[in-house]
A and B are shown apart, each in its own frame.
Chain A
């Protein structure tokens, strides 16, 4: 069974880290490669369980849909300066981001 699991190489880790916008040091790649591969081996036990009869949708509560009127609740709206209070860079009431184009 375990043989069917892909080993996550250092290259794979680099790729995943890039997808997740994480900066991983080169000397950590080896450890991550081993740890994440170990995790994938562990979760192989799920293959023991026949899930063919299980529906595709699942949620933790028994609730079906949660609907409410689309109205503004003034008691929870925040003034602009409070929304921006934690931003490291702001200008004229806006968040400042790096140029992306």
Chain B
């Protein structure tokens, strides 16, 4: 019995849902790689998918909290556009007049403005939902229209470009990466952190006399975690920079360019941002009181209230957090494109909700994980990017994504029924 695969995974402490999602992702990747004749699983494509996933995945982590507390946010796409346009106008039309063009602090001010603006608007929506008790569906549906309209007002519909050069690095691209050396450093640091976390948790549990995983399981976990991180860094570090961009990148990195020399991309900055957001949001969801109250409120709002949790204020905080994350996503999305037009963020709300739901967040509330939402976003993006690479035309892409969403939720329902949730 103990040799059954389920038991091995149980001993490793990896839940079947995570396993299922990773399995789906791997199948998808191999399938697309086969269909495209080996063009999918290349460093170049993996780099692009990782960058394209970042913006939606950052928002999806916040959407987990929103959905777990039995709400929904339909406004994130429009809000992303509104923030993007405002911050673009700020760094192109306003700040250069005050500080002088190309001032070093422009990107910092712009980035902070994006996050603060998102948090304030989110908090306002949360206040209407929590204190005035207007349903989130309606409030954010209103927001969906309001922000898209407000976005047009900022510049009377004109596209704003070009964005501040340093700001653009936050969107990835050949310039916006850590470079090879820093990427390795980042990978090693992340691996060490993962190992430290696993070991610390084990020590605490054993001092309290709880059962701990067998040593071999812990070793496998550590090897898996650090192996995955370093493998990703290695792939990113094998994606060469195009010849035309070499002199520019070499100068930016302070490298003397010699004949026949190749430089590689390394981990893209938006991916670093996504990883930091994922770690922070995971800690918030599992290790803070706020996170605990989010899940308790989603599981039983009345019980949460009776336990002394201020669920109204909690709603404000959840939507403020969602707004702040939309601000971060807006930085990534606008910086990646280098310009902002009135279409920025269109349909993103649906991608974000789909990512969270594919990642196992239950619309009935109470259940959902941050890593699930990030993997959900990755699945969505892989699907879209894979179909585009395989030459599937746009209408069929929509149809497939739509069907996959429904299928994923159905599988999730069956799974929950089986494990008795």
Same complex: no
